[in-house]
Amino acid sequence: MVEEMTMSTPGRGLHEFTPAVRAVVAQAGVREGLCTIFVRHTSCSLTIQENADPSAKHDLEVWLNKLVPEHDPIYTHTAEGPDDMPSHIKAALTATSLSIPIMERALVLGMWQGIYLWEHRRAAHTRHVVVHVGGA
């Protein structure tokens, strides 16, 4: 089963969508298998991170912005705005696809793991994520 989902992001930061992925897995109805999540963009990405304390995702965002600042004089790819090239770099350093096994009809996520779309652009965007579920 393959399902495309559309998400609206309010701008930069980690936006959790674990419930939407769990819903696709439930609908697929496989007992044992593999769920793969893929983001169809190069200026946002995916990550699995702590879902308990919001300070963790805040710090991830601040740290990555410091590592990959806007207006670095090395950038030549500047036509799409000062936040575009940093977004591509951040996407390359994190994940475009993630795979999570399924056991007993559920994702094997750890207790503190949530699935996040990491928006790297400043403006609100509509993002497309594809979820594939295989198994039996």
**Interacting residues toward a second copy by CB under 8 A:** 1-2, 4, 32-34, 36, 38, 40-42, 47-50, 53, 55-56, 58-60, 62-64, 66-68, 72, 74-77, 79, 85, 88-89, 91-103, 108-110, 112-113, 128, 130-132, 134-135
Smallest gap from Cβ 16 to a second copy, in A, equals: 13
Structure tokens at 111: 């207790």
- Residue 90: name the closest of 113, 66, 73, 74 by CA: 66
- Using DSSP, state whether 85 is helix, strand or coil: helix
Element housing 27 (H / E):
helix 18-28
- Give, to the nearest 10 degrees, the angle between helix 84-93 and helix 54-67: 120
Smallest gap from Cβ 47 to a second copy, in A, equals: 5
Q: Between 26 and 58, name the residue whose CB sits nearer to a second copy.
A: 58
Smallest gap from Cβ 12 to a second copy, in A, equals: 15
